[in-house]
């Protein structure tokens, strides 16, 4: 019998867990395993991420939420009296209820401007310029945090990432990548993970939005602060006792390129949706480059679509803006049904 169509486009976190990942959790569910990361699967996860990133010394810490991964990584990079340079619409600024401030002990975020959800070397330089000029009176420069795929559904190219991380490194700043949609970015850019991370010091490598149940890896290029991060993870109550169920999720996610295959599927659905929307006259406010589309539609179109589909409407303009996200499960039929409803 046919599955009903899943017309939930609210987020890539509304879908189910990918079958191989759930299967891995079921298979691991036997006998005893030592807790807190001492399970045997974690060693394999660490090895795989080291190889994937070409970071042979890297430390890897698994946590269950993307906000946790970002906040933990940033707390390992900046002091309370420093500031993190981040785009105005970054997740760490807008969607984490101040978790970075909490985990860092009160560091600031300095917001960097830029179209399409992306900062540029010029806007970053402009944001950095005044910071530190006031000596002891002002907060100090701490770190750069970039997001790829951006919160606008756009992409930084490798060259763009390089330009920004180089600028930061020249100013002595470490760089953090919020990779909640790391896989979608790799798939869309057709680049390796190692290329993606080459300018960074710490990476939040996301799994939850792309087929896992709840797992994100904080990856530290330089293991020197590994023990500190482990203490911070515990103190932040992010250390799982039954850790094997984090490890096996991440292991299955990395196995046979599932992470990339899921992301490619999500991106494909997203691009099909974007094309379709363009064809029927929607305004796409940013150019969708992965699996997330921001579109303006007539109120009537929204009314028709929301009769069956779920997604967020973000303003109450004449043509209200909506966000549509495709996860790795989205089928052509589901995308086409949404388009059909929008078209009316």
Whose Cβ is closer to a second copy: residue 125's or residue 191's?
125
Pick out residues in 17-76 that bind a second copy (CB under 8 A): 17, 22, 25-26, 29-36, 63-68, 71-72
> Which DSSP letter does residue 82 get?
E
Give the residue among 313, 284, 296, 298 at the shortest CA–CA distance from 344: 298
91 to 120, contacts with a second copy by CB under 8 A?
Answer: 94-99, 101-109, 111
| Nearer CB in complex with a second copy: 80/223 | 80
Judged by beta carbon, residue 108 or residue 251, the one nearer a second copy is: 108
181 interacts with a second copy by CB under 8 A: no
Question: Rounded to the nearest whole angstrom, what is the least distance from the CB of residue 113 to a second copy in the complex?
Answer: 12
Give the nearest distance from C-beta 321 to a second copy in angstroms: 12
Nearest CA to 205 out of 328, 70, 87, 84 is that of 70
| 172 is a site residue for a second copy (CB under 8 A) | no
Residue 232 makes contact with a second copy by CB under 8 A: yes
Pairing of strands 140-147, 175-179: parallel
DSSP class per residue in 140-202: EEEEEEEESS-TTS----HHHHHHHHHHHHHTT--EEEEETTHHHHHHHHT--HHHHHTT-SE
Q: Which letter does DSSP use for residue 114 in this model? A: -
Quickly count: other Cβ atoms within 10 Å of residue 109's Cβ.
Answer: 21
x-marked contacts with a second copy along 148-167 as a string, rule CB under 8 A: --------------------
Judged by CB under 8 A, which of 144, 217, 239, 325 binds a second copy? 239
Distance separating alpha carbons of residues 313 and 290, to the nearest angstrom: 20
Q: Does residue 213 belong to the site contacting a second copy (CB under 8 A)?
A: yes
Q: Report, in Å, the least distance between residue 301 CB and a second copy.
A: 21
């Amino acid at each position: 019998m046919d599955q009903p169509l899943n017309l939930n486009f609210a987020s890539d976190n509304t879908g189910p867990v990918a079958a191989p990942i759930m299967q891995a959790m079921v298979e691991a569910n036997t006998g005893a395993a030592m807790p807190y990361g001492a399970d045997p699967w974690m060693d394999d996860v660490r090895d795989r991420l080291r190889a994937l990133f070409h970071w042979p010394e890297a430390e890897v810490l698994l946590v269950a939420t993307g906000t946790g991964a970002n906040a933990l990584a940033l707390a390992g990079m900046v002091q309370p009296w420093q500031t993190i340079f981040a785009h105005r619409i970054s997740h760490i600024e807008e969607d984490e209820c101040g978790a970075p401030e909490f985990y860092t002990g009160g560091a600031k975020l300095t917001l960097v401007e830029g179209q399409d959800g992306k900062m540029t070397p010029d806007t970053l330089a402009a944001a950095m310029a005044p910071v530190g000029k006031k000596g002891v009176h002002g907060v100090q420069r701490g770190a750069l945090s970039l997001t790829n795929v951006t919160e606008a559904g756009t992409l930084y190219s490798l060259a763009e990432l390089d330009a920004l991380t180089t600028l930061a490194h020249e100013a002595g700043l470490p760089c953090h990548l919020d990779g909640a949609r790391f896989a979608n970015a790799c798939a869309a850019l057709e680049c390796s993970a190692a290329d993606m991370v080459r300018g960074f010091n710490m990476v939040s490598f996301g799994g939850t939005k792309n087929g896992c149940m709840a797992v994100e890896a904080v990856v530290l290029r330089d293991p020197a602060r590994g023990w500190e991060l482990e203490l911070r993870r515990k103190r932040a109550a992010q250390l799982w006792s039954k850790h094997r169920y984090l490890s096996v999720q991440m292991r299955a996610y990395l196995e046979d390129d599932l992470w990339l295959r899921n992301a490619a599927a999500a991106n494909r659905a997203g691009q099909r949706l974007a094309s379709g929307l363009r064809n029927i006259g929607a305004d796409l406010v940013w150019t969708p480059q992965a699996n997330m589309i921001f579109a303006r539609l007539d109120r009537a179109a929204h009314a028709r679509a929301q009769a069956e589909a779920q997604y967020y409407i973000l303003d109450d303009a004449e043509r209200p803006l909506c966000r549509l996200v495709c996860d790795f499960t989205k089928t052509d039929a589901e995308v086409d049904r949404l388009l059909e409803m929008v078209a009316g």
